Homo-oligomer: A and B are copies of this chain.
Amino acid sequence: MSLLIVGTVAFDSIDTPFGSSDTILGGAATFIGLSASLLQVPNAIISVVGGDFPEEYLEMLKTKGTDTSGIEIIPTGKTFFWHGKYHHDMNSRDTLTTEVNVLADFEPKVPKSWKSPDVLLLGNLHPSIQLQVLQQLDQRPNCVILDTMNFWMDSAWDQLLEVIAKVDILTINDEEARQLSGEYSLLKAARKILNMGPKSLIIKKGEHGALLFHDNHIFSAPALLLEEVYDPTGAGDTFAGGFAAYLAKNRKYDFSSMKTAIIYGSALASFTVEKFGTEKLQSLTREELAERLKAFKNLTQYDMVLEQQNQNK
- Where the two chains meet, the residues of A that have a C-beta atom closer than 8 Å to any C-beta of B are 40, 88-89, 184-188, 205, 208-209, 211, 217-223, 225-229, 249, 256, 259-260, 262-263, 286-287, 289-290, 293-294, 296-300, 302-306, 308-310, 312-313
Contact = CB atoms under 8 A, between A and B. Distances in A.
A290 B306 contact: yes
Contacts of A186: 225
A303 B259 contact: yes
Contact of A300 (B185, B220, B226): B220
Copies of the polypeptide in the assembly: 2
A293 B309 contact: yes
Contact of A187 (B40, B88, B227, B286): B227
Given A208-B205, A225-B211, A260-B304, A218 B299 contact: yes
Contacts of A219: 299-300, 302
A184 B88 contact: yes
Q: Which of A256, A296, A300 has the most CB of B within 10 A?
A: A300
A213 to B, nearest CB: 9
Given A184-B88, A219-B299, A290 B310 contact: yes
A161 B115 CA distance: 65
Contacts of A294: 306
A218 B208 contact: no
A34 B284 CA distance: 51
A267 to B, nearest CB: 10
A309 B297 contact: no
A206 to B, nearest CB: 10
Contacts of A184: 88-89
Contacts of A88: 184
A220 B222 contact: yes
A89 to B, nearest CB: 6
Given A287-B313, A289-B309, A309-B286, A187 B226 contact: yes
Contacts of A89: 184
Contacts of A313: 286-287, 290
Contacts of A297: 304
A219 B304 CA distance: 14
Contacts of A185: 225-229
A217 B220 CA distance: 20
Contacts of A299: 218-220
Contacts of A222: 209, 220, 222, 300
Nearest to A313: B287
